[in-house]
Amino acid sequence: MMYNLLMSIDGRKLSRESLADIRIQAVQRVEEGESPEDVIDLLGFHRSNIYRWIARYREGGIEALRKNLLREKSLSLMASR
C-alpha cells in the first residue's frame, strides 16, 4: 500500500468546496488510468467512496461531483414530511 499523506486529515472537517475538489481530482486521476485503490488510498478515504464518485461522474459529469447529495436527500426528506 502507498504511504497515506493525508491520513491525519478528517474529511468531515473540510469545506464542501474542498471535498468537491478532492472528488473531482480523484475521479480525473482514475479516468487517466490510475488505479482507484491507489488514488483513494493516497487520499485516506474509504475505498467505497471512489467507486461512488466514479459512478456519480459517469452519470452526471463534474457537476454531479460538486453537489452535496446527502444534504439534498435530507432536504427532500424533510420537505416530504
Q: Which residue has the cell 460538486?
A: 66
The reply to whether 6 falls in a domain is: no
pTM exceeds 0.85 for this model = no
Nearest CA-CA partner of 51 in 36, 31, 35? 36
Identify the pLDDT of residue 13: 80
DSSP 35-70: -HHHHHHHHT--HHHHHHHHHHHHHHHHHHHHS-HH
Residue where the block lists cell 459529469: 61
Query: How many structural domains comprise the chain?
Result: 1
Q: Domain limits at 20?
A: 15-79
Whether 77 shows a pLDDT value over 80: the answer reads no
Residue 59 lies in a domain: yes
pLDDT beyond 50 at 2? no
